[in-house]
Amino acid sequence: MLFCSNCGSWVKGAITHFRRALEINPKNKLACVNLGLALEAQGDLDAAIDSYRVALKIDPGFSRAHRALGLALLKKGRFADARTATALGIKHLPPGDPLQDDLKRDLRLCEEMMARDKKLSAFLRREAKPQYAAEKAALASLAQQPYKQLHVTAVRLYREAFAADSKLTDPRTENRYNAACSAALAASGIGKDLEKTDNAERAALRGLALDWLRAELAAWGKVLGEEDAKNRQLARQVLAHWLEDADLAGVRGQALAKLPQTEQQPWRALWADVHKMLEKAREKKIPEEKSRN
């Protein structure tokens, strides 16, 4: 789903290093926080949260641990708990500490997510509707998170958002790619709002995912044509991520053989084009990139 650069190679070594530091000094609160950050990078969010809580047992006033805990709880969708942790971090900071601004920004994000969660709940109960396109996209992003898994809902909201404002499909927003991921996941039977979907509807969801990915591929192709080294590098990273993203596993590789015959060729053609574009992007370098080599 959401693209992020892989920080993998250092993570295992970092985890080992910080665990050794804690064996030497179990009261090393900074090692606890750094261990948590490394565990987060590895994808073990629950273990990271436990590590931050250990740091806070050592020092209940350690604002850095409160902040790390708050951000981790946000990723879990525990917005009220995240707000509490963040507010405690602010409380324990001395006046003028440079971390104040960061924690205040985190606090605003916690409150924003709490409000968004209420809006999504009201939408699901049919008690309210999002008023503008960007709000629909924001609710769609929340609906598709692992702690929600409301992929059919996310697809519906993304479709409405894109129809209302085409700017939301700019590839750098990742909206359309994330919409495709939700459509593919729902089509694979993953999600908590699948009760009313049948085979025909799941085929339609795969069709939507294919259309959105085709449009994204074309958009990234234009980015690769830009005279901007950073944008070109981003495009290469994004396309490489497509080939590994577990959200698209049901419409990639060996899984394609399980799809109806009429769907297999279009999907194979898409992935062939992704490989082709990525290969071309890796081979061709613009002058600015060459000058650094």
**What CATH number should be reported for the domain holding residue 17?**
1.25.40.10
The whole domain housing 265 covers 129-291
pLDDT of residue 9: 58
Q: What is the pLDDT of residue 164?
A: 97
Among 63, 85, 118, the domain boundary falls at 118
- Same domain for 161 and 100: no
Amino acid residing at 173: T
Taking only the tens of pLDDT, the chain with its 293 residues reads: 654 444 555 788 999 999 999 999 999 999 999 999 999 999 999 999 999 999 999 999 999 999 999 999 999 999 999 999 999 999 999 988 999 999 999 999 999 999 999 999 999 999 999 999 999 999 999 999 999 999 999 999 999 999 999 999 999 999 999 999 999 999 999 999 988 678 899 999 999 999 999 999 999 999 988 888 888 899 999 999 999 999 999 999 999 999 999 999 999 999 999 999 999 888 765 444 444 44
Number of domains in the chain: 2
Residues 153 and 95 in one domain: no
Q: In this structure, are 114 and 139 located in the same domain?
A: no
The answer to whether residue 3 is domain-embedded is: no
Query: Do 36 and 111 reside in the same domain of the chain?
Result: yes
In a domain, 26, yes or no: yes
Record the pTM: 0.88
Residue 4 belongs to a domain: no
CA distance 286 to 264: 35
Residue 42: name the closest of 10, 71, 69 by CA.
10
**Of the residues 118, 150, 171, the one at which a domain ends:** 118
Regarding whether 263 and 196 lie in a shared domain, the answer is yes
Q: Is residue 151 part of a domain?
A: yes
| 181 shares a domain with 91 | no
Contact (Cβ atoms closer than 8 angstroms) between residue 220 and residue 258: no
One-character DSSP codes across 198-225: -HHHHHHHHHHHHHHHHHHHHHHHHHHT
Asked if 168 and 198 sit in the same domain, the reply is yes
Burial of residue 184 (CB within 10 Å: 0-12, 13-18, 19+) is buried
Q: Are 267 and 257 in contact (CB under 8 A)?
A: no
> What tokens does 132 get?
């503008």
Q: What's the number of CA atoms in the CB half-sphere (13 Å) around residue 60?
A: 0
Cα 50 to Cα 228: distance, rounded to the nearest angstrom: 42
Residue 2 lies in a domain: no
Q: Does 33 reside within a domain?
A: yes
How far, in Å, CA of 66 to CA of 154, rounded? Answer: 31
Structure tokens at 181: 């991921």
Beta strands of 85-243 (E only): which ranges? none
Domain annotation covers residue 170: yes
pLDDT at 5: 42
Predicted confidence at residue 159, as pLDDT, reads: 98
Residue 173: per-residue pLDDT:
96
Is residue 134 domain-shared with residue 107, that is, in the same domain? no
- DSSP 3-state of 115: helix
Is 162 found in the same domain as 30?
no
Residues 286 and 229 in one domain: yes
Per-residue pLDDT, 225: 86
Residue with tokens 């740091």: 55
Question: Which of the listed residues 66, 83, 118 is the one where a domain comes to its end?
Answer: 118
pLDDT at 292: 46
Same domain, 198 and 171: yes
Residue 194, domain member (yes or no): yes
Query: Is residue 24 domain-shared with residue 160, that is, in the same domain?
Result: no
In one-letter notation, the amino acid at residue 234 is L
* Chain centre to alpha carbon of residue 270: 23
